[in-house]
Amino acid sequence: MPLTTSAYWDIFCTVVDNYGDIGVTWRLARQLSREFQQPVRLWVDNLSSFQRLCPTLDPSQPSQQIDNVLIGHWDTPFPADWQPGKVVIEAFACELPANVQQTMLNMANPPVWLNLDYLTAESWIDGCHGLPSRQQHLTRYFFFPGFSEKSGGLLCENNLFAKRDQWQSSPDHRRQFCQDRDLLPPQADELFISLFTYENKALLALLECWLQHQTPIRCLIPMGKALNSLRTILPDAVCQPGGRWQQGSLTIEVLPMTDQDGYDQLLWSCDFNIVRGEDSFLRAQWAARPFLWHIYPQEEAAHLEKLQAFTARYSQKMSPELAVTVQQLFLSFNQEQPAELQQNWEKLQKQWPEWQQQSHSWPQTALAGGNLASQLVQFAEKQLKCSA
Ligand code: TRH
């Protein structure tokens, strides 16, 4: 790993829990490299978690290169001979190592220092995005991804929608997806649902609806926390990759976790995606299909405000009937209210065509703030010019 090259973007990421922090930074690092030809070093404290969504990564190697991104193990102490490149990104307020901060403080021309925040649809970020904060003679800027014109925009690769459209243009891709993973072949009228959530008591209520659905339902569940909420009905042997369970109209199949491209293909192949956190939440929107979001729970139910800010934005162009049902569906799922969730699911059956249509036009609306990677590049270049 070259430690002293001045052209680098250094992205620092701690894996707080789950996969969102590393999922977002890994995606950003690759996009900066691939689309903007920026050399990137990604520093990660937990390589084993990283490996779950990047299977070619070797957690025993402190430094390696994948997809043109240099990946370093953020160990303690951080290498003393490290020199920052031109931009340093502290992802999700992870706090840079003390010696890194000291090195930056000692520099006559320090790098552009950015704190990349979590994604939110709340409007208060419009007033905070891009604001500086002084740290002795250094300036740290706050970068807020978001859905509004004044935000930092959203992570979205250049060619993503073309790839998605190509995939969704033919049912052969879903068939091939199933075949490649030893899943049952799709039936003509089968509704495909992916399920990647945290534990949620209301999941069983959704399953009850699906058991009695008029047409067959296929629920594809990547290995993870959602299965813990289904163990009262699913035998242990089912709750592992390759597991299959059939009852009434419902077939459940359990998948291994794959890399991020494989996960996109799962989302593109499904008619309805249930997702969580930050990155799968966004990828489900880019899949242009109806979806349901299990938001990351926060203390004192702070996440519910964030949820409502999103559903208000997301449903703005929907008919009042669909808007109410979608808002209530998201809320009842996150509040783990089984009866309300079932009612909203039933209501949606009549509103499905409108929701599908809305899901298709939503990505363009969502991108009002533009593309996060390109916004970051422009912002950094502007700061570098000012300090030159
Ligand atoms: O895993 P998440 O819940 O992550 C986070 C973290 O918990 C974080 O601390 C929290 O603050 C944040 O949510 C809000 O959900 P998320 O963001 O969807 O990340 C999952 C990543 O895993 C995403 O990049 C997609 C990826 N993934 C794969 O690459 N392959 C797979 O098979 C699956 C199921 C997911």
Give pLDDT tens digits for 274-292.
999 999 999 999 999 999 9
Percent of the chain with pLDDT over 70: 99
Tokens of 145: 């991804």
Cα distances (Å, whole numbers) of residue 209 to 126, 196, 293, 314, 366: 40, 18, 18, 25, 30
Residue to mutate (ligand 1; options 278, 286, 293; most atoms within 8 A of CB): 278
Are residues 148 and 208 both part of a single domain? no
Q: Is the CB of 199 under 6 A from ligand 1?
A: no
Q: Is the CB of 277 under 6 A from ligand 1?
A: yes
In a domain, 4, yes or no: no
Judge whether residue 55 has pLDDT over 90: yes
Are residues 239 and 187 both part of a single domain? yes
Are residues 232 and 135 both part of a single domain? no
Are residues 200 and 312 both part of a single domain? yes
Are residues 14 and 124 both part of a single domain? yes
In a domain, 303, yes or no: yes
In a domain, 291, yes or no: yes
Question: What was the pLDDT predicted at 3?
Answer: 64
Lowest mean pLDDT among 3-7, 41-45, 207-211, 380-384: 3-7
Token pair 């799962």 is found at 266
In a domain, 56, yes or no: yes
Q: Is the CB of 216 under 6 A from ligand 1?
A: no
Which whole number is the average pLDDT over 317-341? 98
The residue whose CA is least distant from atom 29 of ligand 1 is 260
For the question of residue 278 being annotated catalytic, the response is yes
Integer Cα distance of 238 and 236 in angstroms: 5
Are residues 206 and 146 both part of a single domain? no
Give pLDDT tens digits for 212-235.
999 999 999 999 999 999 999 999
Residue to mutate (ligand 1; options 15, 30, 280; most atoms within 8 A of CB): 280
**Ligand 1 mean position to 4 CA, how many Å?**
32
Question: What was the pLDDT predicted at 198?
Answer: 98
In a domain, 3, yes or no: no
Which whole number is the average pLDDT over 352-357? 98
Length of the chain: 388
In a domain, 150, yes or no: yes
The residue whose CA is least distant from atom 19 of ligand 1 is 20
Question: What was the pLDDT predicted at 136?
Answer: 86
Are residues 131 and 189 both part of a single domain? no
In a domain, 91, yes or no: yes
The residue whose CA is least distant from atom 1 of ligand 1 is 19
Residue to mutate (ligand 1; options 19, 67, 281; most atoms within 8 A of CB): 19
Question: pLDDT-derived band of residue 33, with 50, 70 and 90 as boundaries?
Answer: very high
Are residues 85 and 171 both part of a single domain? no
Question: What was the pLDDT predicted at 76?
Answer: 87
**Ligand 1 mean position to 185 CA, how many Å?**
28
Lowest mean pLDDT among 207-211, 281-285, 297-301: 297-301
Q: Looking at residue 283, which CATH number applies to its domain? A: 3.40.50.2000
Q: Output the pTM of the full model.
A: 0.97
The residue whose CA is least distant from atom 32 of ligand 1 is 257
Q: Identify the DSSP state of 52.
A: H
Question: What was the pLDDT predicted at 387?
Answer: 81
67-106 core/surface letters (b: 16 or more CB in 10 A; e: else) = eebbbbbbeeebbeebbbbbbbbbbbebebbeebbebbee
Q: Is the CB of 256 under 6 A from ligand 1?
A: no
Residue to mutate (ligand 1; options 200, 279, 303, 306; most atoms within 8 A of CB): 279
Are residues 139 and 174 both part of a single domain? no
Give pLDDT tens digits for 185-195.
999 999 999 99
Are residues 57 and 132 both part of a single domain? yes
Averaged pLDDT of the chain: 96
Which whole number is the average pLDDT over 253-281? 98
**Ligand 1 mean position to 294 CA, how many Å?**
11
Q: Is the CB of 30 under 6 A from ligand 1?
A: no
Query: Which bin fits 329, alpha (ψ -120 to 50), beta or left (φ > 0)?
Result: alpha
Give pLDDT tens digits for 128-171.
999 999 988 899 999 999 999 999 999 999 999 999 999 999 99
How many domains is the chain built from?
2
- State residue 153 phi and psi, 5-degree precision: 80, -165
In a domain, 2, yes or no: no
Are residues 203 and 335 both part of a single domain? yes
The residue whose CA is least distant from atom 24 of ligand 1 is 23
For the question of residue 261 being annotated catalytic, the response is no
Which whole number is the average pLDDT over 357-386? 96
Catalytic residue among 10, 21, 117, 279: 21
Domain around 254 = 160-367
Are residues 127 and 97 both part of a single domain? yes
273 and 14 in contact (C-beta within 8 Å)?
Answer: no
What is the number of H-type helices and E-type strands within the chain? 12, 14
| 92 Cα nearest atom in ligand 1 | 11
Catalytic residue among 10, 122, 278, 279: 278
